[in-house]
Amino acid sequence: METGNLVEAVRCFQKAAQIKPEYGEAHEDLGIVQKSLKDLDAVEINLRKAVALNPGLVTPYCNLKLILKGQNKQDEAFSCLEEALIIDPNYHTAQYYSNSVTGTTSKTAKRICSGRVLTPMPKLSRKSWLIV
């Protein structure tokens, strides 16, 4: 994707967040686009807003976990992962990250996923993008 298109996408999601600031998905989408532009401070801010606005939604926690892990904020990253697994213990991406990406599974993740085999994540549809 061209940088110009990403900049325009940031403007669109910023406008959506201004029009309806309680719409957490706009903040999450804004964070995802900002990741492509390497604006990690803005990514973290918007993903934290998405989590605060939608505490029952799993994807903002998984996306925020990846950003925090990349910033060596391991404890916060694990907390995000644990929250995602508490919200939805069957959420395949959170299960995958709890084992494969981190190289270990936290006690809470082990308790939540007890009895499950954690398997690699399948290809995701365009609609369920995650920051990588």
Query: Residue 64: how many CB atoms within 10 A of its CB?
Result: 28
Query: pLDDT at position 42, please?
Result: 93
Contact between residue 47 and residue 60 where contact means Cβ atoms under 8 Å apart: yes
List per-residue pLDDT tens for the chain, 132 residues long: 456 688 999 999 999 999 998 989 999 999 999 998 989 899 999 999 999 998 888 999 989 988 998 888 888 888 888 888 888 877 777 666 665 444 555 555 555 554 444 443 444 443 443 443
Q: Which H or E element spans position 35?
A: helix 24-36
3-state SS class at 71? coil
Q: What is the CATH number of domain 1-54?
A: 1.25.40.10
**pLDDT at res. 79:** 87
Instruction: Give 37-40 contacts, CB < 8 A, sequence gap 24+.
Output: 37/3, 37/6, 37/7, 37/10, 40/67, 40/70, 40/71
Distances in Å between the Cα of 104 and the Cα atoms of 35, 49, 52, 100 are 25, 28, 27, 7
